[in-house]
Amino acid sequence: MNNMNSPAAESHEELRSAVRELCRDYPDKYWRELDEKREYPDAFVQALTRAGYMATLIPEEYGGAGLGITEASAILEEIHRSGANAAACHAQMYIMGTLLRHGSEAHKRQYLPKIADGSIRLQAFGVSEPNTGTDTTQLKTIAVRNGDRYLINGQKIWISRAEHSDLMLLVARTTPADQVKKHTEGLSTILVDLRKSVGHGLKIRPIRTMMNHATTELFFDNLEVPVENLVGEEGQGFRYLLDSLNAERILIASECIGDARWFLERTCRYANERVVFARPIGKNQGIQFPIARGYANMEAARLMVARAASLYDAGKPCGPEANMAKLLAADVSWELANVAVQTYGGFGFAEEYDIERKFRETRLYQVAPISTNLILSYLAEHVLGLPRSY
């Protein structure tokens, strides 16, 4: 916790500067080599943990920094602005919120201090399934109580960091769908100790994707988990899941802003340095205008992210703002990624310039952790009062 002892210890600019300083030890070459080998950035994650950044949102009484989403957003934005990728560990920031808000005091005392000091990692969230996608209420993975144990059977997909996490927060059905009054009932949240589970009812299969994201598919075959690992009340897991979504979207939006800033800075530098027809290409309005428009859109998106984070930290409703922050930030990071490739031309596709790597990484956020189309559906129905579309 040497970098972050209290909210008053550093201004946000000092916090950002400290993050940038840490990231200098992990330059483009580090990420390029990991991407080529599809390896996990363990050294980087350990450095973030030692500096206290992974414990940003954990209260001080449990060994954390006791800071807010605003500070967590600043950290993640600067990581991505530096050309790094916080997707290797960002989930720990918002997953532990479920444990903090709904776990028993025994759970919090047992796990949060160890998460804070890096003794254990909670970076995996077992929600998505092959046949249900975003329709979470139709999850098929089932946990049947047998005495003091749950027997878990089913399948999950796109569960990132499962091979690099000690614990996973699993959402499973504990009451059959045809026995609940509301479709949102009957799901429960259970802590799974991956160290004890792999090879004893849990199989993890890595999925190779277009970017280095350490994502996997999980297969449960009569996995036994102690009932005491239930987080909160049985059957209320869907409500607990919703609690974490606003934080997740704000933090992912912050990463997208960081990506956008990285693309913008690299693109402006290249446009000033690249000379064709005896003049810098940045002199041409065909180059200037897309960059300038991307900058304007990025600044607008940053304001929405800041607004959503401010509301969240104040304990106020922020669903629309969190969703709009994710939408606008993901859109502008993708916009500036395309501007970067267009400006670099053929060099934008060369690995040594890192544009194509970040291009692949930021494309993910048009789809995950929620599709931009579903955000539009949410805004249409819940903010604008239009008929439900699905």
Task: Indicate the pTM of the whole model.
Answer: 0.94
User: How high does pLDDT run on average in the chain?
Assistant: 94
Give the whole-angstrom CA distance, residue 250 versus residue 322. Answer: 5
Within the chain, residue ranges assigned H as helices are: 12-23, 28-37, 42-50, 69-81, 91-102, 105-117, 194-197, 237-273, 285-313, 319-344, 355-363, 372-378
- Does 134 have pLDDT greater than 90? no
Give the whole-angstrom CA distance, residue 193 versus residue 167. Answer: 5
Residue matched to tokens 């805004």: 379
Give the whole-angstrom CA distance, residue 20 versus residue 199. Answer: 40
Give the whole-angstrom CA distance, residue 111 versus residue 70. Answer: 24
Q: Do 97 and 128 form a contact (C-beta atoms < 8 A)?
A: no
Q: Do 260 and 298 form a contact (C-beta atoms < 8 A)?
A: yes
Convert the pLDDT of each residue in 51-86 to its tens digit. 999 999 999 999 999 999 999 999 999 999 999 999
User: Measuring CA to CA, how many Å separate 192 from each of 110, 167, 196, 241?
Assistant: 14, 6, 9, 16
Convert the pLDDT of each residue in 165-220 to its tens digit. 999 999 999 999 999 999 899 999 999 999 999 999 999 999 999 999 999 999 99
User: What does the buried/exposed string (b/e) look like for 124-156 if buried means 16 or more CB atoms within 10 Å of the residue's CB?
Assistant: bbbbbbeeeeeebeebebbbeeeeebbbbbbeb
- Is the dihedral angle over the CA atoms 187, 233, 170, 147 positive or is it negative? negative
Q: What angle do CA 54, 60, 64 make, to 5 degrees?
A: 10
